[in-house]
Amino acid sequence: MTTTKVFLDMFLVLQLLLLLLLLRGAAADDSRVPAVIVFGDSTADTGNNNFIQTLLRGNYTPYGRDFAGGVATGRFSNGRLAADFVSQGLGLPPAVPAYLDPGHSIHQLASGVSFASAGSGFDDITAQIFSAVTLTQQIEHFKEYKEKLRRELGGAAANHTVASSLYLFSVGGSDYLGNYLLFPVRRYRFTLLEYEAYLVGAAEAAVRAVYALGARRVRLPGLPPLGCLPLQRTVNLAAPGDCNRWHNMVARRFNRGLRAMASRLSRELPGAQVVYVDVYRLLADVIATPWAYGFEDAVRGCCGTGYFETGVLCSLDNALTCRDADKYVFFDAVHPSQRAYKIIADAIVHAASHRPE
């Protein structure tokens, strides 16, 4: 073998290696998530309710006290929400801006946006009870967002963002807590099983609506153990201080329907990845063994007495609020603390990094 042929063979091998590296890089770029797009309720509202006429706002202390600069942004927690941590975990900005905030340009919203509104639900009646933005209207806002993206980035770039983004629905708790179990608005029309089917159908309709608008990667976190929220323990007359087993059963039943629906849509919708995220099992374990996750209290919220305060009641009892929210699973009597949201976000990011079977 001549020296020239050896050099030619080595050159061809190097070219082949370079081509493989380029192809791998291109594949990595294709899989990168350009934005996190969020729909939901107070567990995902990053400030939208600050700009509508509603009593459900979190733009006052002690909310946001551990957010950057200690600003009460409207998030119902001491700091960031799961959606914020999901964004950061995917290499995007550490906070997802609120769509209705006029201080955010479409350029800022291009890498992530929350349409969520505290008090909203899969059932639009839920949002109307609390004067929140309905899920139907949130999807209309998404349509507006798409058009703004097209004008700002151009058609091709906007279509890429819409098709490759991660879509997160963090919603459902208000439907049961504010519309059926605690306040029986829908109980006069639906049996529990009928309402469960109605909500799963509404969730499916929402997923199909964003799919029709270009969404492909959808994540559906299930309900948490509703009966173990501090407020639910407080109003549990049958066993004061304990988790409400019936309400937990309701959450588990709904989650089974949500999981089955997500799996079915992944098969039916071409190119769709609709993935259920088991928040119930995760938070149930955190609540049962808080010390294993670095928490000290999973029964009370950090705010006020920790048993019933949420929203404006947290503001009234600000003097009683705990010093270190990181020790608490819940910040108020309904909403998780920033540390608990980080744990939920890790589960969502893990689900986002694996293509469903």
Would you please indicate which residues are annotated as catalytic (active-site) residues? 42, 332, 335
CA distance 191 to 189: 7
- According to DSSP, the β-strands at 328-330 and 297-301 are parallel
Contact 85/93 with Cβ under 8 angstroms? no
Report the candidate in 96, 76, 58 with the shortest Cα–Cα distance to residue 336: 76
Rounded distance between C-alpha atoms, residue 49 and residue 144, angstroms: 18
Integer Cα distance of 59 and 72 in angstroms: 5
How far apart, in whole angstroms, are the C-alpha atoms of residue 269 and residue 75? 33
Residue 203, Cβ neighbours under 10 Å: how many? 24
Q: In whole angstroms, give the CA distance from residue 199 to residue 218.
A: 17
Coil, strand, or helix at residue 16? Answer: helix
Helix intervals (H) in the chain: 3-31, 82-89, 106-109, 124-129, 135-153, 155-164, 173-176, 192-212, 230-234, 245-268, 279-288, 312-316, 338-352
Give the 3-state secondary structure of residue 104: coil
